[in-house]
């Protein structure tokens, strides 16, 4: 029986696509993707990555959409509705736990981004500085990172508390176009830099001799994690889809938008990085907060004001990407508390926010005064990242694809994909084959590779 009363729905197809794309698009597209490209040989990695996006990640996304819309419930309620009394419900609880853990440590990084946005606007990133020392001093401070983290969590809380159509959809419609405009503007500006030609060559001219087993596995992992599949946020969003929403078309649109954002991020970062001598294209986690502020200063040395504008727009871009992702993570747990315990949306959202404030505080302090506190040899930030990235997300992806193709009635799945026969889905058999065999095996390979790394 579908749980639909009083839950709300997305009001339009555009809202569905932008909210779902916002869930997928995050800091991983703008920071992690260029880092992976830089570490794995450039253009050849991108081609392998795109193949896995549509052959591996998209089928998992479609499976999430099927579970969400067919049940009209949160991740736990979905498995309870579709498989009553069965142990599949464990996968639903995994999604709720993952959403809380990810939001807890992700909000730390989002808080850093908010801080850097404020600093870039206030001209505090201009001029020669030791940006490594600036960053390390900030993250180890006992209270400054917490203030920005709490502000970010509060902003996320306000949006989620407003509901599906008035909150999540309305803000996605505002933020995603803004994000896309900023990323195109920054890419065009970056192409005017002195190192643009070398950056584009690295980004667009594939050298397949660099494609190794490591590159393939890295591309597979990036495709899976970039789209935030396997964690339950897309299933939660799909539970708010209307009956006439085309699941496969929506999944394809989300994959295209997510991939374009990642590639355009490369257009922003690589011309800038190649414009400054001594900067490595695989600078790693320090790229955004240590390397790029220096790049923005040096690349526009003759016209400091351009460096200032570039810096401001770049960190606003990061901020929007982080916010669209934290909203979806928050909604996983909010929907669960609201429906499982019959709470108001505002109360459920408050519970989730308070939990994440407590856990997020531990994550933030693990870079400073709690740096010596270890669980399984890791600080809280590293521990939460490890548990979600190495275990919960890949296992969730395996379980949900197996659930859709090995447990659910095939007629129900086909009805969801074709909107009860009213929509023709090209290559339906191929899609079902990918969900049944390719996706779980591919995610299993990612899982084993992540454990070995």
CB 113 within 8 A of CB 121: no
- At residue 246 the predicted structure's pLDDT band, cuts being 50, 70 and 90, is very high
Q: Is residue 6 part of a domain?
A: no
378 phi, psi to nearest 5 deg:
-130, 150
The reported pLDDT for the residue numbered 245 is 97
- For residue 271, what is the domain's CATH number? 1.10.4160
Q: Is residue 2 part of a domain?
A: no
Q: Is residue 22 part of a domain?
A: yes
Q: Is residue 327 part of a domain?
A: yes
Q: Is residue 1 part of a domain?
A: no
Residue 386 has pLDDT above 80, yes or no: yes
pLDDT in tens, 260-275: 999 999 999 888 888 8
Q: Is residue 395 part of a domain?
A: yes
The reported pLDDT for the residue numbered 452 is 80
Q: Is residue 394 part of a domain?
A: yes
pLDDT in tens, 98-107: 999 999 999 9
Q: Which domain holds residue 133?
A: 13-452
Residue 97 has pLDDT above 80, yes or no: yes
The reported pLDDT for the residue numbered 1 is 39
The reported pLDDT for the residue numbered 3 is 44
pLDDT in tens, 204-230: 999 888 899 989 998 998 998 889 898
- At residue 283 the predicted structure's pLDDT band, cuts being 50, 70 and 90, is low
How many CB atoms sit inside 10 A of residue 163's CB? 17
The answer to pTM > 0.85 is yes
- Could you tell me how many helices (H) and strands (E) the chain has, helices first? 23, 0
pLDDT in tens, 152-201: 999 999 999 999 999 999 999 999 999 999 999 999 988 888 888 999 99
Residue 411 has pLDDT above 70, yes or no: yes
Residue 302 has pLDDT above 80, yes or no: no
Count of domains forming the chain: 1
Q: Is residue 314 part of a domain?
A: yes
Per-residue pLDDT averaged across 283-287, rounded?
66
Q: Which of 30, 418, 36 is nearest to 261 (CA)?
A: 30
The reported pLDDT for the residue numbered 276 is 78
pLDDT in tens, 10-50: 999 999 999 999 999 998 888 889 889 988 889 999 999 99
pLDDT in tens, 394-410: 999 999 999 999 999 99
């Amino acid at each position: 029986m579908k749980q639909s009363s009083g839950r709300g729905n997305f009001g339009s197809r555009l809202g569905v696509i932008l909210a779902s794309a916002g869930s997928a698009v995050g800091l991983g597209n703008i920071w992690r993707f260029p880092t992976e490209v830089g570490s794995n040989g450039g253009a050849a990695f991108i081609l392998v990555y795109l193949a896995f996006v549509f052959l591996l990640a998209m089928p998992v996304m479609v499976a999430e959409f099927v579970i969400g819309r067919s049940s009209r419930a949160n991740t736990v309620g979905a498995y309870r509705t579709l498989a009553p009394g069965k142990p599949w419900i464990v996968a639903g609880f995994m999604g709720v736990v993952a959403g809380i853990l990810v939001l807890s440590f992700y909000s730390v990084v989002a808080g850093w981004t908010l801080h850097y946005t404020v600093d870039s606007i206030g001209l505090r990133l201009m001029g020669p500085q030791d940006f490594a020392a600036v960053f390390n001093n900030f993250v180890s401070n006992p209270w400054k990172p917490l203030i920005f983290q709490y502000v970010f969590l509060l902003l996320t809380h306000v949006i989620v508390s407003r509901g599906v159509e008035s909150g999540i959809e309305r803000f996605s419609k505002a933020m995603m176009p803004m994000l896309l405009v900023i990323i195109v503007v920054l890419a065009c500006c970056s192409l005017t830099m002195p190192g643009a030609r070398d950056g584009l060559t690295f980004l667009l001219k594939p050298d397949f001799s660099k494609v190794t087993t490591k590159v393939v596995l890295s591309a597979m992992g990036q495709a899976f994690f970039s789209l935030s599949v396997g964690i339950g946020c897309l299933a939660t969003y799909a539970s708010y889809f209307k009956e006439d929403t085309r699941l496969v078309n929506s999944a394809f649109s989300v994959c295209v938008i997510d991939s374009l954002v990642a590639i355009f991020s490369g257009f922003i970062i690589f011309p800038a990085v190649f414009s400054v001598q001594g900067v490595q294209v695989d600078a790693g986690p320090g790229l955004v907060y240590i390397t790029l502020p220096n790049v923005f200063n040096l690349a526009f040395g003759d016209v400091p004001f351009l460096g200032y504008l570039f810096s401001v727009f770049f960190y606003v871009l990061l901020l929007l990407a982080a916010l669209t992702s934290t909203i979806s993570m928050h909604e996983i747990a909010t929907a669960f508390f609201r429906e499982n315990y019959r709470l108001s949306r505002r109360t459920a959202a408050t519970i989730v926010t308070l939990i994440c404030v407590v856990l997020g505080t531990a994550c933030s302090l693990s870079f400073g005064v709690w740096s010596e506190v270890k669980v399984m040899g890791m600080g809280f930030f590293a521990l939460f990242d490890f548990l979600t990235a190495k275990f919960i997300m890949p296992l969730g992806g395996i379980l949900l694809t197996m659930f859709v193709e090995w447990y659910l009635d095939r007629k129900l799945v086909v009805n969801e994909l074709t909107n009860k026969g009213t929509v023709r889905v090209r290559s339906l058999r191929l899609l079902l084959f990918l969900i049944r065999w390719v996706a779980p095996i591919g995610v299993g390979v990612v899982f084993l590779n992540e454990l070995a790394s």
